A and B are shown apart, each in its own frame.
Chain A
Amino acid sequence: MHLIVQAAILGLLTGGVYALMASGLTLAFGVMRVINVAQGAMIVAGAYVSYTMFTQLQIDPFVSIVIMAPAAFVVGVAVQLVFLRPLRSDEREELSLLVTWAIALGIEGILGIFYQTTLRATRPSYVNDSLTLFGYDVSVVRLAAFAASCVILVLLYLMLQHTRFGRAIRATVQNPTAASLLGVESNRVAAYGFGISVATATAAGAVFGMITPFNAGSHYDLISRLLTIIVLGGMGSLGGAVIAALFMGMSEAILAVEMSPTWASLWFFVILVLVLLIRPQGLLGTPERGKL
């Protein structure tokens, strides 16, 4: 029992980081119906940049989040403008998958050239410390990563609910035509929304780099989990993504203890298939109606 709770705690902490990663995907999908398959690669890129900043400049990874964010935002806006906006809207959903996959491959290739295939991990001095809470061991790094993810998610939520720009985003997500009729510049919203999503990706990458060893090829595993999380949670639903992420994190961790780590990974995908059988729109998604 102790082991299971221990595993559940670990899973919860990991799930929080997944939630942060998935939130960027959900945001991108919401504002312009784009599936950003390169999210995984951007997370890995963030991990590498944070790693380099730490090893070369002794900048703490948590600090690197703040440094990377503005640059990532600009890169995100640029990517959206160059590669995603030209796609025709009726095919955008599927084509964006392919375009962003191509971008992901490009990022993987470039990272591979600079860093080769050696596994890296960002290891600040506190990386092996752990606290004991209520009799359970909790890694300091994972706890801090979870906390950072929560902070960023809360900031994201506050931005969406209480700022003018956030309202513009929500309007665009709900009904792009109506939003633009009311003066919301949907192109700008889409670009900035995507920029934010990339910024959250690099932030997640910084913490990811501390938790798991990674190399350029790690993005496949990441993006496959993230995609199943957003489908499970319901495409476009931020709340759904968070719930799905926490659920997946915890169940995978518990299963890894009960069965084996490799079977636990399989669980992700089996759950997805089962959910789709019963509820194709995911947990909190809206049913996919065709055009009427």
Chain B
Amino acid sequence: MTALLESESLTKRFGGIAALDSCSISVAEGNITALIGPNGSGKTTLFNLVTGYLPADSGSIAFAGRSVRRPHPASLYRMGLCRTFQQPRVFSNLTVIENMAAAILQPWGSLLRSRVRSSDRSRALEVLDDFGLTRLADAPAGTLSFGQRKLLEFATVLMGRPRIILLDEPTSGVNPVMIEIMERHIRELHQQGLAFLIVEHDMHVVMRLCDPVIVLDHGAKIAEGAPAAVQSDPTVLDAYLGA
């Protein structure tokens, strides 16, 4: 399979600390790839760099085989790369439907047209239906529970017809039922052709869902492979149990 998202020797320093140290990873199209590593290994920083939220100090990023010189969240979204956040971010003062509509890419001419056109609304309702959020469609997003927000955030990024979704800890802070729901959605979307890069701490989820698994430690990749292989890799065990 072709590599959809690649980073080459990405480095990012904060003060004297290298959060990412010459990190090179490759995420193939059509895979559900896990990104794991102990706290502070650079997973979220990698996300931030690859999605254009932070500038890299050095190194490069490529998407769908083409080098992305100055990654910017908006242009990457249009190319098909999107992400969610550890603490789910929604537009609190907009309704759920409006949250979804905001993420639909619009041509210039539609600026003055209605906020949520009927075509937008039906597209959004389809997805909301899948996620079981239909009855909340007109509720302000700020009134949603934590788990509902995570679902909404996930549903929202689908509006841009992405090719790959970067999920930052999708199962943290939610109950086991919700974890199952999340997993189901990821599997279904994967079957429809979406690739995923998931930062995850829950090893059960990783084992069930993801292949391959990339392991980061101290800002660099230390292992990569099938979940079982990675789990028994001595380098990985070393990293987690501490030096």
Contacts and interface: CB of A to CB of B under 8 A. Distances in A.
Interface of A: 289-290, 292
Contacts of B54: 289, 292
6 contacts: A289-B54, A290-B53, A292-B44, A292-B48, A292-B53, A292-B54
A197 to B, nearest CB: 28
Contacts of B48: 292
A290 B44 CA distance: 15
Contacts of A289: 54
A289 B53 CA distance: 9
B199 to A, nearest CB: 14
Nearest to B86: A292
A276 B48 CA distance: 25
A235 to B, nearest CB: 19
Interface residues of B, number: 4
Across the A-B interface, give the 5 residue pairs with the lowest CB-CB distance, nearest first.
A292-B53, A292-B48, A292-B54, A289-B54, A292-B44
Interface string B47-80: 0100001100000000000000000000000000
Contacts of B44: 292
Nearest to B45: A292
Main secondary structure on chain A at its contact with chain B? loop
Contacts of B53: 290, 292
A246 to B, nearest CB: 28
A289 B54 CA distance: 9
A292 B54 CA distance: 9
Contacts of A292: 44, 48, 53-54
Nearest to B55: A287
A289 B52 CA distance: 12
Nearest to B87: A291
Nearest to B44: A292
B65 to A, nearest CB: 28
Nearest to B85: A292
Contacts of A290: 53
Nearest to A290: B53
B16 to A, nearest CB: 16
A292 B44 CA distance: 9
A36 B44 CA distance: 36
A292 B53 CA distance: 7
Interface string B24-63: 0000000000000000000010001000011000000000
A292 B14 CA distance: 14
A127 B135 CA distance: 76
A209 B53 CA distance: 48
A290 B51 CA distance: 14
A203 to B, nearest CB: 35
A191 B53 CA distance: 34
B92 to A, nearest CB: 10
A80 B53 CA distance: 35
Interface string B150-188: 000000000000000000000000000000000000000
A290 B48 CA distance: 12
B48 to A, nearest CB: 6
A290 B54 CA distance: 10
Interface in B192-231: none
A269 B53 CA distance: 31
A28 to B, nearest CB: 26
A126 B48 CA distance: 61
A93 to B, nearest CB: 18
A289 B73 CA distance: 14
A290 B53 CA distance: 9
A290 B73 CA distance: 13
A281 to B, nearest CB: 14
A292 B12 CA distance: 15
B145 to A, nearest CB: 20
Nearest to A289: B54
Interface string B72-98: 000000000000000000000000000
Nearest to B48: A292
A122 to B, nearest CB: 47
Nearest to A287: B55
A284 to B, nearest CB: 15
Interface in B96-147: none
B77 to A, nearest CB: 16
